[in-house]
Chain A
Amino acid sequence: MMKNPIEHLNKIFDSRIRLGIMSALMVNESVNFNELKELIDVTDGNLATHVKTLEESGYIKVQKGFIGRKTNTTYSVTKAGEKAFKVHLDALEKMIRSIG
């Protein structure tokens, strides 16, 4: 009996914005807040909320720094985040294959 692939889909990656953040971080060592904002095209508040969710799940880590007097917050993916994202992608792939 084949397991239902949808059960491996990660609820946290349900949101387009969180998925966008993870995708950008998977291929970059680190990306700062403003770059993410531009890439995903969202408002500050919106991005901050989704970043918080990912951080609380332990999928991304936050480094706060300064460039001159301005705060520069950068984000990078954690090992757990990388693994969770891959599982999610595999589940997506299986789901498409099973129907296609």
Chain B
Amino acid sequence: MSTNISGLNTLQDIRNMMEKSSRFISLSGWSGISAGICGLAGTWFAWQRINAFHAQANSASSQCIDCLKTDLLVIASLVFAAAFATAFFFTFLRSRRDGGVLWGPAARRLLWNTLFPMLAGGLVILRLVSLEQYDIIISVSLIFYGLALINGSRYTIGEVRYLGYAELATGLISLWLPELGLSLWAIGFGLLHIVYGIAMWWKYERTGN
């Protein structure tokens, strides 16, 4: 009887260790929420900038499409950096609290498996900009981001996969609805992150567990 219980405990220990060392489980729900807020703020800035551009188009002054391009790329980069930094911050706090391992093999694999597809997406977008194919940039960014999340979800909380599917679906829909581009962008990078973040916080962190 007692060997049976110790056998069960041993199996549980093994399972815990395998989980802990292969999946990065400190990812905080707050990280999703903060990334979503950055996404919404970024969309708002981009929208302002595009409106300003169109207002100029109606006035006599000459349009500067390259200035718009540069500004939008700068906004996008800043949003990415801010979202990444705040997401990292909240995850850092959580791993401190849980006494988890922040930088280990699991974190490395998570970063590699999400950043690599995103890097490929970034190159595709730069090429699209140079080809002046602006219509599908938003779709492409959402699609690559979704694929990156699906790929990375094996190395962190499994539910990240569902966020990935949602991003991917949003991106595919926007392929046929380019006129809704910026709204779908706000949904994808803003709303979905916030909804996901709240759900994860509710499920894993609410009880302070």
Contact = CB atoms under 8 A, between A and B. Distances in A.
B8 interface: yes
B7 A23 contact: no
Interface string B2-20: 0110011011011101101
**Interface SS of chain B:** helix
A32 B69 CA distance: 45
Interface string B181-197: 00000000000000000
Contacts, number: 60
A93 B101 CA distance: 29
Contacts of A30: 105
Given A19-B14, A92-B10, A27 B21 contact: yes
**Interface SS of chain A:** helix
Interface of A: 6, 16, 19-20, 23-24, 26-31, 35, 38-41, 89, 92-93, 95-96, 99-100
Interface of B: 1, 3-4, 7-8, 10-11, 13-15, 17-18, 20-22, 99, 101, 104-105
**Top 4 A-B residue pairs of the complex, sorted by shortest distance between their CB atoms:** A23-B17, A24-B21, A27-B22, A99-B4
